[in-house]
Amino acid sequence: MASDRLAVPHAPISKYGTARSDPQELLLDNLRISSTFPKFLPAAKPRVAYLKFSGVTVGASSACKPWTELMRKSTTEEKEALLPTTPQTVPHTPRFSRKAQRRIFIAGLLSCLTLGVVYGHLGFYFDGVLDSNVATGCPQVDALVPQRGADVLASISDLLATSDYKAKAINWLSGAVQVPTEVFDAMPPVGQDPRWEVFAPFHDYLLTAFPLVNTYGLLFEWTGSDKSLKPILLAAHQDVVPVEPKTYEEWTHPPYSGHFDGELIWGRGSSDDKSGLIGIMTTIETMIAQGFKPTRTVVLAFGFDEEASGLQGAGELGATMRSTYGEDLPFAFIVDEGGGFTDKYGSVFASPSVAEKGYLDVHVEVTSPGGHSSVPPVHTTIGMLAALVVKYENNPYELELSRDSIPYALLQCQAAHGAEMPKKLKHLIRRSTRSKKALAKLRDVVIEDRPFRSLIGTTQAVDIVQGGVKSNALPEQAYALVNHRISTQSSVAETMAHDAALLAPLAAQFNLSYTAFGKAMSLSDGPALGTLTLKDAYGTFLEPAPVSPIKGKGSEAYQLLSGTIKATYAAHRGLDLDAKDGIAVAPGMSTGNTDTRYYWKLSRSIFRYNHKNTIGSKDRLSGVHTVNEAMSADALLEMIRFFTTLILNADESSAI
């Protein structure tokens, strides 16, 4: 029940202290009244608040009134005082409260900084280059600059350049990092597992930090004046992966400090994905403050268990949005967390992910009669399982570089814009468009790169193995778990059929009664020595995502996104819009899945991209999902510029 939560407003979030030290006890207690929004689902279900606002501070319900009145009366200073740390001049060394200081751990190794790509769990592969001389294989659109929204963009651009605003934006993200919204695998539903309660203080924080957006909830609608226009959906997630306790001492700054060192904002979630969430919230807060009123509706959806498959958060959000907006692709486009832009071969390249691989965990189980190990059979279940695992590893899935795949389109972009790409490779990529032999040769070259190889085929990884309990007892059962990421050119059914056929000869050889994915596979009806069973381990299979259109009719949203990326990149650096040292846009793809897996019916144009700057970042894996996660303040400001330009461009587009 929500009231249970209200009773413990300042319960410790973790052993590392409370979410923040609250000097504004009275105010925060009032804020909690807003948690009684009538549209909240009962606590036994995932909490999804649905809230509409129209650009001014409004209460979503009468229950919210005490808070909104309070906020109306309070001065700007009072509102800012609600932030976990006081506004700071930039650069600065933030001061910490005593409680925060208690959370400070011994500084350890300074390892590489994360500047964006959520490579670790999204598995983005990004490898772009730029050369405008040979652009035929990867046409580029012009930068798209808002016209009607030019004044709003100009005043927000001016704001971005002020140290006051910069300090505010840094504080917004730093404060968000200081609330440890950790989620773990297979958590029982909301209401049963108290660990979900970390989101209550996080929602309170959002409420406090973004009074104009009027936050408390996970689904927001900023209602536009023209209902005939399809709304756009901006998504992010509130949760973070847990910090491995053994690594605390390796953090240069404590994982939930939100420490700003003058350049970087440190902590778990500073990049993945609180930078996305705060980037979106900050943008809208700022646009409202600037008096902008949207023509096209903007919807925000913030899940809270993306790092644990997203079922309770985005799963529920997706269902709510389908019932609210319809199932017939009601959104013009969706932008969720994902790739950024970086340098390669001396050029800069942005890579919005337009596809996601599928997913299947196969549970491979062998059983046979037990007994005393002094009288063993030739093969125990563990021995047979070992043979099955070896069979898997000796037979990887075929790697086909298909001309209509996204990785191939990425290669074409590299060749088209790759000023410093080795000539031989560029030539091979070009020839592969018409020569099968060249295509095969190209495949052999690119699969040498493991991340790229993982994009073009179905992968398999034996991740769990278990069997046996005692040294003198024959194991009656042994199993392995094989994790597949399914090629966008394949399907769950094809993957199941492949695995079933692969193991059939061994099932016969060991005389095991064989069942694969509910289907009897044994050829003979004779007595078997045991069983072999394949099944979807957790019922979490997922087809590859529909590929968002990037060419021709239906690709208008992709063109708008591309133009926005180019305009943002140029504006942030004071470059000419058609500068030669600009940015190229090429389609990317992720091997992992974001919350958008629940949003396929909401739009044909789904982009996992939030314009994170990873230029100069050698190791794009660092920080995200491991120690020393950090986000550059300048990259955060550029994200705010990106979301502003995107909303304005979408607002005045007649093409989407």
HSE (CB half, 13 Å, CA atoms) of 441?
A: 15
- CB 276 to Zn ion: min, Å: 8
356 catalytic residue (yes or no): no
Residue 45: count other Cβ atoms within 10 Å of its Cβ: 13
| DSSP codes, 27-86 | HHHHHGGGGG-TTPPPTTS----EEEE-SS---SSGGGHHHHHHHHHS-HHHHHHTSSS-
* Cβ nearer to Zn ion, comparing 272 with 543: 272
- CB 606 to Zn ion: min, Å: 15
Q: Quick check: 598 and 309 in contact, CB under 8 A?
A: no
Q: Please, which residues have CB within 8 angstroms of residue 237's CB and are 6 or more apart in sequence?
A: 273, 276, 277, 302, 303, 304, 305, 306, 307, 310, 313, 314, 337, 594, 595
* Cβ nearer to Zn ion, comparing 171 with 596: 596
Q: Please tell me the distance from the alpha carbon of residue 254 to that of residue 270, in angstroms, as a whole number.
A: 12
Q: Please tell me the distance from the alpha carbon of residue 173 to that of residue 95, in angstroms, as a whole number.
A: 16
Encoding tokens for residue 322? 């389908």
* Cβ nearer to Zn ion, comparing 280 with 348: 280
- CB 250 to Zn ion: min, Å: 21
Q: Please tell me the distance from the alpha carbon of residue 288 to that of residue 213, in angstroms, as a whole number.
A: 8
- CB 477 to Zn ion: min, Å: 36
- CB 624 to Zn ion: min, Å: 8
**Letter for the amino acid at 87?**
P
* Cβ nearer to Zn ion, comparing 443 with 597: 597
Q: Please tell me the distance from the alpha carbon of residue 129 to that of residue 345, in angstroms, as a whole number.
A: 6
The backbone torsions φ and ψ at residue 531, rounded to the nearest 5 degrees and listed phi first, read -130, 155
Helix (H) or strand (E) holding 391: helix 381-394
Bridge partners (DSSP) listed for residue 589: 125
HSE (CB half, 13 Å, CA atoms) of 196?
A: 24
Which residue, judged by CB position, is nearest to Zn ion in the bound state? 273
- CB 186 to Zn ion: min, Å: 18
22 catalytic residue (yes or no): no
- CB 337 to Zn ion: min, Å: 5
- CB 237 to Zn ion: min, Å: 6
- CB 592 to Zn ion: min, Å: 9
Tell me, letter by letter, the H, E, C secondary structure of 473-518.
ECCCEEEEEEEEEECCCCCHHHHHHHHHHHHHHHHHHCCEEEEECC
509 by Cβ neighbours in 10 Å (0-12 / 13-18 / 19+) ranks as exposed
* Cβ nearer to Zn ion, comparing 168 with 274: 274
Residues that bind Zn ion (CB under 5 A): 118, 272-273, 337
Q: Residue with structure tokens 């390892």?
A: 111
* Cβ nearer to Zn ion, comparing 182 with 273: 273
Residue 142: count other Cβ atoms within 10 Å of its Cβ: 12
* Cβ nearer to Zn ion, comparing 116 with 258: 116
* Cβ nearer to Zn ion, comparing 28 with 281: 281
Query: Distance of CA 484 to CAs 125, 249, 311, 358, 359, Å?
Result: 18, 34, 19, 8, 6
* Cβ nearer to Zn ion, comparing 32 with 121: 121
Encoding tokens for residue 92? 């600065």
Q: Please tell me the distance from the alpha carbon of residue 378 to that of residue 398, in angstroms, as a whole number.
A: 33
Q: Quick check: 613 and 330 in contact, CB under 8 A?
A: no
Give the chain's radius of gyration (CA, Å).
26
* Active-site hit among 22, 272, 306, 307: 306
* Active-site hit among 22, 182, 239, 356: 239
Catalytic center residues: 239, 306
